[in-house]
Structure 1
Amino acid sequence: MNLSVKKRWEFGKSLKKYRADGLIPGVVYGKHLESPISVFFDKMEFLKVYEKAGESTPVTLKGDGINQMVLIHEVDVDPVKNRLLHIDFHAVKADEKTEAEVPVYTQGEAPVEKQSLGKIEMVKDHVVVEALPKDLPHDFTLDLSEIKTTNDIVFVKDLQVPKGVEIVDDLEQPIITVVEIKEEPEEEESIQEDTENGEAENK
């Protein structure tokens, strides 16, 4: 997967006009690089690449003398106007293992929720792994249909990890827990308590 880029020599306030023209600034960091590489790239092209790659699938930056494999490390978005401001890329080498945050998604319906016994709570939505860039998983998907009781907990160690991938996070850390739904007091009991309190005040 490629992303066309060109070297960037503009910084600071001057970037505003480039963003208005659909060019997003970014910077490439990496321990094997002599210095960070500042780049520009087309916003729409980046969004298409980001949708497919996420932050754990390698992308190759190409153009203007640049040919560098990277991971999309940090996406800076304007919280008010919800538009792209800047992207940090992490340069990687095809033959060297690297760490990446892999998102965790869920699918299906949990019987424990369907029966109104408990509510699913996702306490961790990503897991850090280490692997060669080509082996990094795009995501982990958990099947909620296996969660049948309030005692069912999914831990990091329960993830199905592809060959060549090592989990860096604590294996005993929970990803999904179940919060028990407690029954509310019956309305009749509340009415009875109010009546008794009223009679006591009258006396």
Structure 2
Amino acid sequence: MNTLKAEKRSLDVKAKRLRREGYVVGNVFGREMKGSIPVKMVKRDVEKLLKTDHKGSQIMLDVDGAAYDVLIKNVDYNPVAGQIDSIEFQALVSNEKVHSVAEIVLVNHEKIAEGVLQEDLNEVAYMAYPASLVDQVMVDVGEMKIGDVIRVKDLSLAADPDITIKTNPESIVVSLMASHNVEALAEDTEEAEEK
């Protein structure tokens, strides 16, 4: 589990000024905390962390020497400025289920000889105790044939008794469709000529 260092921040200093000084602002909240803790983190450290961890990841947050087992709840990214504006962290309690998301990662797509993969979902929402949190679900698409569909209920996450899926179990994660080929183009041309 990765650790990110943070400092408590004074609300007297505006977030905009901290961003100019090379910080990312954030907030830590949780059931067993009185209020929330406004924090600031070094931008470079946050960018490094987000290369491996993302929304839904569990990390250790070191706030002025106090360690918190947290979930990255939300990452606000400013595409215009090309920077991370803020991050929300939820402090975890071992006996409390939390809402989270797991990123869907398709593997073995290079083994598909024909057809076109259509990915309909890129994350699955679920609830779990901190010990059962996952941030990625690997979906092996290597054996798929044209017409095959993988739904949320087919994922390994859905079979885990410690996890409660919140995304509709019937939702399609990925499907393999026939690619539109030259024959289809020829049929369309014949229909157009008949009209």
Q: Name the TM-score, length of structure 1 as normaliser.
A: 0.80
2:156: which partner in 1? 160
**CA shift for structure 1 position 189:** 4.5
Measure the CA separation in 1 of the matches of 2:12 and 2:5: 20
Amino acid at match of 1:82: G
- In the TM superposition, residue 138 of structure 1 has moved relative to its aligned partner by 2.4
SS of equivalent to 2:46: helix
Decide whether aligned partners of structure 1 residues 37 and 178 sit closer, same or farther in structure 2, where only a CA change above 3 A counts.
same
Distance apart, 1:163 and its partner CA:
5.9
Q: Which region of structure 1 is more displaced relative to structure 2, 178-187 or 156-165?
A: 178-187
Q: Deviation per CA, 1:36-64, whole angstroms, max 9, x where unpaired?
A: 11001111212222333323332222132
Contact 1:92 1:133 in 2 (8 A): yes
Q: CA RMSD in A?
A: 2.7
* 2:128 is aligned with 1:131: yes
Distance in 2, Cα, partners of 1:136 & 1:155 = 20
Residue 92 (structure 1) aligns with: 92
Between the two proteins, what is the percent identity of the paired residues?
25
Contact 2:146 2:178 in 1 (8 A): no
Question: Structure 1: where are the runs of 5+ without partners?
Answer: 198-203
The TM-score normalised by the length of structure 2 is 0.83
Structure 2 portions without partners, runs of 5+: none
Q: Is 1:57–1:134's contact at 8 Å kept on the other side of the alignment?
A: no
Residue 79, structure 1, aligned to residue 75, structure 2: no
Q: Whole-Å Cα distance in 1 between the matches of residues 105 and 137 of structure 2?
A: 6
Please tell me whether residue 170 in structure 1 is matched to residue 168 in structure 2.
yes
Task: Please show how residues 82-121 of structure 1 align to structure 2 within 5 Å.
Answer: 82-109=82-109, 114-115=113-114, 118-121=115-118
| Larger Rg belongs to | 1
- 1:3-18 pair list within 5 angstroms: 3-10=4-11, 14-18=14-18
Contact between 1:110 and 1:148, CA under 8 Å: does it hold in 2?
Answer: no
Cα deviation digits, residues 7-55 of structure 1 (max 9, x gap): 111367x323321222111011223321111001111212222333323
Structure with greater proportional helix content: 1
Task: Give the conservation status (yes or no) of the 8 Å contact 2:149–2:175.
Answer: yes
Q: Using the alignment, how far apart are the partners of 1:189 and 1:173 within structure 2?
A: 37
Alpha-carbon distance in structure 1 between the residues aligned to 2:110 and 2:141: 5
The structure with the greater share of residues assigned to strand is 2
Q: Measure, in 1, the Cα distance between the counterparts of 2:187 and 2:150.
A: 33
> Counterpart in 2 of 1:200?
none
Give SS of 1:46's match: helix
- Report the counterpart of residue 201 of structure 1 in structure 2: none
Q: Distance in 2 between matches of 1:97 and 1:25?
A: 26
